[in-house]
Amino acid sequence: MENWGMITYRETALLYEEGVSSTSNQEWIATVIAHELAHQWFGNLVTMEWWNDLWLNEGFATYMSYFGVDKVKPEWDLKDMIVLNEMQSVFQVDALATSHPLSSNKADVQTPAEISELFDSITYSKVLFIVPIQIIKEESPKKIEHDLLDEIGPVTKDAYKAKDKEWVLANVNCTGYFRVNYNPENWERLLQQLNDSHDVIPILNRGQLIDDAFNLARAQYVNVTLALNTTKYLSNDMEYVPWESALRNLEYFILMFDRSEVFGPMKAYLRTQVAPLYDHFENYTLNSTVPKSHTAQIHPNLKSTIYCHGIAAGGEKEWEIVWERYQKATIATEKDKLRYALSCSKDIWILSRYLQYTLDPTKIRKMDAVSTINYIARNVAGQSLAWDFVESQWTYISEEYGGGIMSLGSLIDGVTQRFSTEFELQKVTCSNDILFPVPMNAVQLKRFQEDHGEDTLSSGTRALQQAIERTQANIK
């Protein structure tokens, strides 16, 4: 929290332990510190007149977090991550009818709940593509030029004609805040270029072509086959941005179909695509010189994955071992990895017990309760359990955890990711004879909205509206 002169942090956003914390932990810590330091100016010494312009505070701080870290660690190429972490994420929210403008009228933002609702990805991320809209020339500090607001050329053209076999690529390096769709012929030419020589297309655009295609397919502007075809070339691409763009979009299909008959072929396809990438890094690792200080310990970058799969393949004994390690862990980043791994169990009763632990601060700290529930909801075996738990415990949850900015919104978003059916609540029997519901539908979400007014929904009001809208889109 960016208190003037006395910033407070979660341990995982401040403390890095060499050999234990992962690279992603290091990047997260660096960007959070830069974000909070930027707030010493944007938000503390210089503050917007009212909460309706909150984006000025958070947007500038987010922008400076990337800019600041890039100055200190240019080799990280962290500015490229803006496309993945900010642009692609905020597009998902901004496409919903329940999105909101960056700046609202003062009259529309008066209550604590209305203020809390503004702390979302629109406020934090969208502004990265709006700044700067004004330029102050050095030779005339008092003169403001609106160069970027003036028309440079026609905004709309009927067609950009290309010669035979040539392709057109728009929004080069993803500097504009918009998606791009092409006619079928240009899509095919771009796909052919990716297959023939993908390096001709900039890395960021390779990622954005994939993200645009999948989201255009979900909106029914292009067919799903075209979107899937954007991933075929990936077996030859070793760059992070295109792969992460593909995996995040394929995650949607996994959430929708991981309990259906198409999940098997989907996994087989993914394994085929990933195999060359695995071979590349296996060879790179084998050819590397092993330092004398090397131990048999798991590399920090692999811990989350290995811990999770270990718990998923194990049973109660393995879960209890990791639970004990979690309780004794003193390094914050390690403790977080263990807490996430505990949510990977396939045993329904273990997940149910773990959910109950989130109500006991002596077992799971209050600050970790919401993310723990969301971890369980990401597990195909735990999603229905998580929703049932949240619904039954909502009064307690809203009272105990509702004070945190974005907490309730994050919780509602997390436990509704798989919602995609119009069927009434059904009960199925799992292997150990415990009954649990299949995914809820939009009607039941609306009922939840009616049962819990704004007094208890608080900052989660808009998140619930977005969950309803997202579920309706998933059904289509």
d(CA 247, CA 211): 10
Q: Residue 447's Cα: distance from chain center in Å?
A: 27
Q: Residue 243's Cα: distance from chain center in Å?
A: 15
Q: Catalytic site residue 36?
A: yes
Which of 36, 86, 117, 334 does the annotation list as catalytic?
36
**SS in 3 state form for the chain?**
CCCCCCCCCCHHHCCCCCCCCCHHHHHHHHHHHHHHHHHCCECCCECCCCHHHHHHHHHHHHHHHHHHHHHHCHHHCHHHHHHHHHHHHHHHHHCCCCCCCCCCCHHHCCCHHHHHHCCCHHHHHHHHHCCCCCEECCCCCCCEECHHHCCCCCCCCCCCCCCCCCCCCCCHHHCCCCCCCCCHHHHHHHHHHHHHHHHHCCHHHHHHHHHHHHHHHHCCCCCHHHHHHCCHHHHHCCCHHHHHHHHHHHHHHHHHHCCCCCHHHHHHHHHHHHHHHHHHHHHHHHCCCCCCCCCCCCCHHHHHHHHHHHHHHCCHHHHHHHHHHHHHCCCHHHHHHHHHHHHHCCCHHHHHHHHHHCCCCCCCCHHHHHHHHHHHHHCCCCHHHHHHHHHHCHHHHHHHHCCCCCHHHHHHHHHCCCCCCCCCCCEEECCCCCEEECCCCHHHHHHHHHHCCHHHHHHHHHHHHHHHHHHHHHHC
- Looking up tokens 């890095």 gives 16
Cβ–Cβ < 8 Å for 60, 127: yes
d(CA 231, CA 243): 8
Which residues are paired to 303 by β-bridges? Answer: none
Cβ–Cβ < 8 Å for 127, 102: yes
Tokens of 363: 């077992």
- Looking up tokens 């080069």 gives 172
Residues identified as active-site:
36
